[in-house]
Amino acid sequence: YWYGGQVASFIGDDPTRVIQGIVTGVGFLGAGVIMREGMNISGLTTAASIWASSAIGVMVGIGFYVAAILLAMLSAICMLWVSKLENWLPSRKAVAVVLKFKQGFRPSEKNLHERAFSHGYEIANGTLSISSKDGAPEWHFVAIALGKNRGAPMSALAQELTDSEGVDSFLLTHARN
């Protein structure tokens, strides 16, 4: 016997192994639906609903019918009503900004904060990163609107950056906050 000389013995039923396999597989499925694009992350609700569905299936499989029905109703309520509740919560639009300056230009952080404020934005704490390539500074940061319905539209920000002295190129993208 190449496997150590032992004869295979009967292994009894072990439902925890089945559940472990389900949890592992669903973990990979959930991780597969979560996507990151720039500053945005999507698929978290889908991943959570996949987990809830698998938990309901496991509960039915082991005979916890009442708990499975209650979890199914709770999941349905959450998926239907939490998104409506989200609209009532305070939120502010956020814009991810990449500024590439002309070679030799020295941008001012104070000027950046003042210009953002004049357009209804503030620079989010801890988001400013500065790099340089061949003497051309590059700044990355997230600007958050000062209020729910404040903050200039992205087209106005783009026009402001187009007309700005020292800016070679820029990239503006929506960022979730």
Q: d(Cα 15, Cα 18) in Å, to the nearest integer?
A: 5
Q: How remote is the C-alpha of 18 from its chain's centroid?
A: 31
- pLDDT of 59 reads 92
| Burial of 16 per CB tally in 10 Å (0-12, 13-18, 19+) | exposed
Number of neighbouring beta carbons within 10 Å of residue 113: 15
* Architecture in CATH for domain 94-175: 2-Layer Sandwich (3.30)
**Splitting the chain (177 residues) into consecutive groups of 10 residues, what average pLDDT does each group show?**
54 76 89 80 87 93 93 92 79 87 88 88 88 88 85 84 86 78
